[in-house]
Amino acid sequence: MNIALRGVAKTFDGKQAPLVALTPFTLEVATGEFVCLIGPSGCGKSTLLRLIADQMPPTVGDIRLDDAPPGAARKAKHIAWMAQNPALLPWQTVLDNVRLPQRVNTAANRQNGRHTAPDPADLLRIVGLADFAQAYPGTLSGGMQQRVALARALATGARLWLMDEPFAAMDELTRETLADEVLRLWQTFRPTVLWVTHNIVEAARLAGRVVVMSARPGRILATVDIAHPHPRDETAPETAAIIRHLRAVLREGSVNGLN
């Protein structure tokens, strides 16, 4: 699914004065591309995802998903969303939480000819929770709940994955392992992925392109293409060079008063 943002900006009403979250923002993401958004807290990364997901309208500008308004993709169940809060149904088992999107979206899948979605039980094995399929979310740790949410997002079989810091609450080893599994699934199904993270190493390991944003009001400081193939080791010279460059871009933005 292609993403086209043309002059998109967002301003929220404030008690004292309007809050400008994003200044006019123009970005193209090609079908099947994996793009990471990095930048300081409050720079509008999550707001941008919500605009693309049709959770709220832009103040100005135009958003197109495959040349149609975002609402069309949302109604067709083409968007998978994973937020920082797992938002699981406490009365459903872990397996039933992962199955939920496929149950809800069965009619839309048939109508839109979507590819076969991953098997929920397989996804639980991928995220290391096969032994907890019949458990309830309230019995799991926060990190385990987030792994269930990841499996549920992947179970949609959607063409666009919007991922808002999905691994922020996990330990480093689990984070790297699940990132590798998400990468494998992306290589298999080739959805378009827009991934928000504060982790520069994670962005350099996953993305084909990294968009670096300034502090609020959010704007693009730079876009950095990463051409070398996966898997990537952050200690390898080419990946380490990308990580240093991304840090330098963020540092330069801070020095110039943009951050």
- Where in the chain are the domains? 1-75, 76-192
pLDDT tens digits, one per residue of 86-135: 899 999 999 999 999 888 776 555 554 445 567 999 999 988 899 999 99
Domains 1-75 and 76-192 share a fold: yes
Q: What are the tokens at 210?
A: 């990294």
pLDDT tens digits, one per residue of 123-133: 999 888 999 99
- What percentage of residues in the chain have a pLDDT greater than 90? 64
CA distance 108 to 51: 22
Q: What are the tokens at 100?
A: 């939920």
For domain 1-75, give the CATH number. 3.40.50.300
76-192: which CATH topology?
Rossmann fold (3.40.50)
| Burial profile 199-226: b = 16 or more Cβ within 10 angstroms, e = fewer | bbbbbbbbbbbbbbbbbbbbbebbebeb
